[in-house]
Chains A and B, each alone.
Chain A
């Protein structure tokens, strides 16, 4: 049982480049989330989805877009990467209200 899988695990981008981070879960969870973790800041919610075809903004959505075309996948896109987006990105999923999160192992992104 894979749980939540994030790809890639590491990536270095140049300023202005674009990329997509993929999150896949095999637990049939309704809710999916993208967080970023920065030193001293904890985990901050970027975007989330409460079901296939739905997305919503979290605390720090600027510079990111997301899509949830299939229930098991949640994509995070950076259209024009900036050094401020250097971070570790975590995807998570949950059954919904009243459920804890299952996190992926993270993607370390460096923008130079």
Chain B
């Protein structure tokens, strides 16, 4: 059973609007979360992280929200741009020791011009 779930395989959003990508996890011990972005034929690249001591982290157009009670996090992209079209992976770990991240299956975001 997957410990990190991204239940939407794909999402389409109009340019300039908000993109919301969701991630759910089952292991209540997870306390560190990351989002990665992946373009075709490239490796994933780190986007943003959040630890369980926070419920929100912002970096420019990207904001991650964490709801520990619901075991849910979301990535908001505002405003969405065509260059944001990619696959987004959510990852979680117990502690941040660098070797035990569990990745979700990914959500493909398409931002339409």
Contact = CB atoms under 8 A, between A and B. Distances in A.
A69 B21 CA distance: 40
B98 A94 contact: yes
Contacts, number: 64
Interface in B60-113: 89, 91, 95-106
B8 interface: no
Contacts of A59: 102
Nearest to B41: A105
B95 to A, nearest CB: 8
A92 B91 CA distance: 14
Contacts of A44: 103
A2 interface: no
Interface residues of B, number: 27
A94 B2 CA distance: 24
A12 interface: no
Contacts of A101: 36, 44, 46, 101
Contact residues on A (Cβ < 8 Å of other chain), bracket:
20 to 34
Contact of B103 (A4, A31, A43): A43
Given A40-B105, A90-B43, A102-B46, 5 more contacts: A42-B2, A42-B104, A42-B106, A58-B99, A95-B98
Interface of B: 2, 4, 6, 9, 34, 36, 41-46, 49, 89, 91, 95-106
17 contacts: A31-B99, A42-B2, A42-B89, A43-B89, A45-B99, A45-B100, A48-B99, A56-B99, A59-B102, A95-B98, A97-B96, A98-B96, A98-B98, A100-B34, A100-B46, A105-B42, A106-B42
